[in-house]
Structure 1
Amino acid sequence: MSTGGSSGRAEIHHAHRDVNGGWLRPSVFGAMDGLVSNFALIAGVAGGTASTKVIVLAGMAGLAAGAFSMAGGEYVSVASQRELAMAEIDIERRELQRNPESEQEELAKLYESRGVDPDLAAEVARQISRDPEKALEVHALAELGVTPDDLPSPRTAAVSSFLSFGVGAVLPLLPYLLGVTSLVSSAVISCVALFGAGALVSRVTARSWWYSGLRQLVVGVVAASLTFALGHLLGGGGL
């Protein structure tokens, strides 16, 4: 009895989260970095001066510099990764054109190494190799770990990183923009945001929400405390 429906396709009883998307990693790291780095920067400046104007200026400069730096870095990094993958895919495409029999045999050996019977592995490799584009996709995934039509986008990574860094970086600066002149308010908002961001990340990882939240909170508080102490030491200011 068929359980796959009239189309003959097997039912999928579970779904996977996107682990290769070009937006998730830069968004997560951008928000975390923006929050931690600007909180630490503001704390360091506040440790050395009581001037709200100076603190706001430093916070705005940290937000702008960090966002543009993160976006530029992500763009270059992902673009370089994409170009390398495309170059290797082109090598594989040329090999499929020049030595189709060898590549088919290589694919059969790959399936054999994964437990498929030799005769069946050879037949599967033969059928896949009938379609050059499908063969290229299978070879690229097996040998390079990438899919030719699903490479990460540099623009997506850059924009995601820029926006998420800006959101994270503005939170510790928000009280000063609203006229509050104490670092305590910034610290409270930053700590809540740090824990919340860490807990949110747990939705796409195997960690519990409280563990991820506490880990991110500790990292941010330690960074800000050390920077505040350094700013106080060098500037001799106060809150």
Structure 2
Amino acid sequence: MTDQERDRPAASSGSSHRHWTVAPEPNRARHGPALRAGVLGASDGLVSNLSLVMGVAGSGVAGNVVIIAGLAGLVAGALSMGLGEYLSVQSSRELFAHELEIEAHELATNPAAEVDELCAIYERKGIPTDQAHALAERIVRGNPAFALDTMAREELGIDPGQLGGSAWVAAGTSLVLFAVGALIPLLPFVLLGSSAAVAVAAAVSGVALFGLGAAITNLTGMNPIRAGLRQLAFGAAAATVTYGIGAAIGGLVR
């Protein structure tokens, strides 16, 4: 039998019902929490520490003060990002796991109600009532694991296959890449004099901002050039504002 013949709806002279099957939808973008946390962590580290060191440098203080402030911002921000990412991922997983437990209990104790719920979902998708009910009956009263997977996707909007991934890995990735991003605008102040460091930090950070904006399109699907320019514009605006504020405050206190 050919693949085309296997894929055709079964038909018989005694029944006008088509036999519906449920196939898993291919996941086109199976990005784990670690990838998202890493890319966004690096972006946050770069923008926040660029703004911080530019604000401090704008006040006219000595270069070692800028370095101390930048290191403090790097450490504090990285720890905050790592902890926040862990809590976010772990809390989401615990919430989804609890919802799946409730759904599994409902399937075991009141399958008729679950049949009605799934039938209504399929009817809203355009499947005729009799066929929707037959399909829902077959799923709910069939394999329990498949029934739970189907109800999770159709009723709860959860893909059980994407609940994996370690919250610790996501947190560690976010922490490390935040620190890497935050280090980019700080290095020129470590390696160069403070006067030259401002211009070099701005230039290097601008290139990094554009690159990160383009990289984030792997998650968003946006145009890389547009996303890179947007990230560059926002980062430059933040750094310009903080530099101006630092210069104004520095002029007042000197």
Structure 2 counterpart of 1:192, from 199, 204, 207:
207
Q: Which of 90, 99, 103 is the equivalent residue of 1:92?
A: 103
Q: Distance in 2 between matches of 1:5 and 1:223?
A: 61
Contact preservation (8 Å) 2:36, 2:219: no
3-state SS of paired residue (2:29)? coil
CA deviation map 1:106-159 (0-9, x unaligned): 212211221112232223222222111111111111222113343154223212
Residue matched to 2:185: 172
Q: What is the Cα deviation at residue 105 of structure 1? A: 2.5
How far apart are residue 180 of structure 1 and its match? Answer: 4.2
Q: Deviations over 1:153-185 (max 9, x none)?
A: 422321221122112111111212323432111
1:107 lines up with 2:122 in the alignment: no
Native 8 Å contact 1:47 1:236 kept in 2: no
Q: Deviations over 1:17-52 (max 9, x none)?
A: 225x21233222211110100000000110113412
For structure 1, the 5+ residue unaligned runs are 7-13
Picking from 175, 195, 204, the partner of 1:162 is 175
Partner AA of 2:93 in structure 1: R
Counterpart of 1:37? 48
More displaced, 185-194 or 123-132?
A: 123-132
Does 2:217 align with 1:202?
yes
Aligned-partner residue type, residue 108 of structure 1: C
* 1:225 paired to 2:240: yes
Q: Is the 8 A contact 2:185 2:201 kept in 1?
A: yes
Residue identity opposite 1:62 in structure 2: G
Aligned to 2:134: 123
- 4+ residue stretches of structure 1 with deviation over 3 A? 3-6
Q: CA deviation at 1:206?
A: 3.2
Q: 1:56, 1:88 → 2: CA distance?
A: 48
Which of 162, 182, 186 matches 1:150?
A: 162
- Corresponding position: 1:17 with 2:32: no
The farther-off stretch of 36-45 and 144-153 is 144-153
Report the number of matched residues: 230
Q: Percent identity?
A: 43
Deviations, residues 42-76 of structure 1 (Å, cap 9, x unaligned) = 00110113412111111111111101101111111
Give me the whole-angstrom Cα distance separating, in 1, the residues matched to 2:214 and 2:39: 12
Following superposition, the deviation at residue 5 of structure 1 comes to 11
Moved more, 148-157 or 127-136: 148-157
Q: What is the TM-score of this pair, normalised by structure 2?
A: 0.82
Is the Cα contact below 8 Å between 2:39 and 2:215 reproduced in 1?
no
Distance in structure 2 (CA, Å) of the matches to 1:55 and 1:229: 15
Name the counterpart of 2:152.
140
TM-score after normalising by structure 1: 0.87
In 1, Cα distance between equivalents of 2:215 and 2:162: 26
